[in-house]
Structure 1
Amino acid sequence: MPGICRRKIQGAVFNVIYIPRKRLEQQLKNGQLDGPILGVNPLWFNDKHETKYLWTAPIYNDIDDFVSLKTSPFEFKDITSLYNKSFAGVSGLYYVDLNELVARDKLDRVDTIGDQQVLTIVEKGWVDLGVISRSTYNYLLKHKKIDNNFHLSTIPHESFERRVLIPQDQKVWHEFLQPILLRLPHDPKWQKILSQY
């Protein structure tokens, strides 16, 4: 889940805090963001060409899955397979193609406060499907925070890199984090952490 990392560059203490997407957008717009945003992607911040913000190397690769109940499984084939369906997503998050279908009244969206609530709404049958990151889904399943009664579509919603967004006026963060993140793919400790998800 995206969060802001606050740290004194010369110090050794990091504070990771959750900020709702709307508040995060407001802080970015007003130049009030105090630190980098972890686990996000340029497309989610309308920065496809990576010119609005500074971006680090990937932290890791992730997938957003279409999740439904095993008793009424949804399989994504193409965009039309979503027509006249309802999906649960996290409030404030941008879902590639899905937001556009909602705007065209081809798909209904129900917003929640988090990924676990997406699964709750799907489980209660209030929507046809939800969208949740595979890393979060696997973590919740592994730690028995959800039951194994969900179906993941063979074709996922999207694959993406989780990266770090840094405001342009905070280059010191980029200079500090980029070398660390470039080493991550070869770091056995980091690979062990990823295996937990």
Structure 2
Amino acid sequence: MVARILDPRHARLLLPALGLASCLWPHGATLAMGLPRATPARFGPLKLISYYDYPPFVTSPQQGLSFELAGWLHMRAEGLIEGVELELLPRRRVDIQVRQAQWAGLVPWVSPAWFSSPDPAQAPIWSAAVMNDEDLVLSLKRQPFEFEGPASLRGHKLGGVYGHVYTDADPLVASGELQRLDSFTQEANLRMLLLGRVDLAFLSRSGLAWWRQRIPGFDELVHVAAQPRMRYQRHLMISRDLPETLRERLLQLAQTMGGDSQWREVMRRYGLLGQSAEWLNIA
């Protein structure tokens, strides 16, 4: 699935879906999504690829935090790019693409710990952290579970999502000490938990607010373990094959996006504003 933010003909269709207020773009002229063809020095479109197809990153067709990011980057990098394309791919295909020679793009919401680069000359450039996050362990309140490390998962039935790797839990599955039942989507996995077909499920803190609104009675039914499964920071992974001026601009934007008024409004609407200190205490 590819979402393109390229020219004024698409702007009117995509702007409402992106959820960005019309005040982000100057009134009238070119709605800033498409850039004049008389500027060949501009790079584009900037290609974003992501394997996050669930909330808050994707909440419905062409909506979600990744689409908001695509629109925000297009606006803030105006003059350097002709447009932005966001493509959702399985994790394995993202891995293949970023390893290809002369890949020129950006992968949002990821961590250096999740990607390896055998050739330092081809290693991507990592931005400053753009989000603090953590993985939560969910259970039902009628059978609450407190996570105390991977060993505490033994003897339980874990709901997972197809294709997801759980580095702490999968060895227990392989040894038969933990049972794992997978669903095709995160929502289906949460439904399995609510039906009592699994004991536990993992969920990122960043998606918690959305699911609380999506699933009636979520807070009355679901227990969130006091100790998260893991804490981490999300970054932008930037290709070295992008033009240097664009790379530097993207790094600058990542460094300052937390103080950008339009981006803060986006984070507020997704219930993510002001929770960084709660999620992760960084020395």
- Compute the TM-score of the two structures, normalised by the length of structure 1: 0.81
Is residue 13 from structure 1 mapped to residue 83 from structure 2 by the alignment?
yes
Gaps of 5+ in 1: none
Provide closer, same or farther for how the CA distance between residues 68 and 19 of structure 1 changes in structure 2, counting only shifts above 3 A.
same
The alpha-carbon distance between structure 1 residues 169 and 34, as it changes in their structure 2 partners (threshold 3 A), is closer
Q: 1:188 Cα shift?
A: 3.2
Q: Following the alignment from structure 1 to structure 2, what is the Cα–Cα distance between the partners of residues 11 and 146?
A: 42
1:56–1:164: 8 Å Cα contact kept in structure 2? yes
In the alignment, is the contact (CA less than 8 A) between 2:108 and 2:235 conserved in 1?
Answer: yes
Match for residue 188 of structure 1? 261
Query: Matched residues in 1 for 2:183 and 2:102: separation?
Result: 26
C-alpha change, 1:183 and 1:20, in structure 2 (3 Å) is same
What is the Cα deviation at residue 77 of structure 1?
1.7
Instruction: Give 1:150's aligned amino acid.
Output: V
Query: Would the aligned equivalents of 1:56 and 1:174 in 2 still touch at CA under 8 Å?
Result: no
Determine which of 74, 79, 97 is the counterpart of 2:145.
Answer: 74
* Counterpart residue number, 1:42: 112
Residues 63 and 158 in structure 1, CA contact (< 8 A), matched pair in contact too: yes
Whether the 8 Å contact between 1:140 and 1:146 is mirrored in structure 2 is no
Identity %: 27
Q: Tell me, yes or no, if structure 1 residue 85 matches structure 2 residue 156.
A: yes
| TM-superposed deviation, 1:184 | 1.7
Per the alignment, residue 226 of structure 2 pairs with 154
Mapped to 1, the partners of 2:162 and 2:81 lie a distance apart of: 34
- From the superposition, tell whether residues 114 and 168 of structure 1 become closer, same or farther in structure 2 (CA, over 3 Å): farther
CA distance in 2, matches of 1:145, 1:62: 21
Amino acid at match of 1:190: W
Written as runs of structure 1 = structure 2, the 5 A alignment for 1:123-142 is 123-142=194-213
1:89 and 1:132 in contact (8 A); partners too: no
Deviates more, 1:62-71 or 1:167-176: 167-176
> How many Å separate the matches in 1 of 2:248 and 2:176?
44
Aligned to 1:132, the other structure's residue is in SS state: strand
Please tell me whether the aligned partners of residues 173 and 180 of structure 2 are also in contact (alpha carbons under 8 angstroms). Answer: yes
- Equivalences, count: 194
Question: Is the alpha carbon distance of 1:46 and 1:66 closer, same or farther for their aligned partners in structure 2, counting shifts above 3 Å?
Answer: farther
Q: CA deviation at 1:129?
A: 0.7
Taking structure 1 as reference, are residues 146 and 165 closer, same or farther at Cα in structure 2, changes over 3 Å only? farther
> What is the one-letter code of the residue matched to 1:16?
L
Aligned partners of 2:139 and 2:224 also within 8 Å? yes
What is the alpha-carbon distance in structure 2 between the residues aligned to residue 114 and residue 168 of structure 1? 33
What per-residue deviation string (whole Å, max 9, x for no partner) do you get for residues 136-193 of structure 1?
1211213x34541211111011111111123343464532311001002222332332
SS, match of residue 193 in structure 1 = helix
Q: By how many angstroms is 1:33 displaced?
A: 5.1
TM-score by length of 2: 0.59
Residue 75 of structure 1 and its aligned partner are, at CA, apart by 1.0
Contact 1:115 1:136 in 2 (8 A): no
Cα distance in 1 between the residues matched to 2:154 and 2:102: 39
Report the RMSD for the aligned CA atoms in angstroms: 3.0
2:228 counterpart of 1:165: no
> Partner of 1:160: helix, strand, or coil?
strand
From 87, 94, 98, the counterpart of 1:24: 94
Contact 1:82 1:107 in 2 (8 A): yes
Equivalent residue letter for 2:238: I
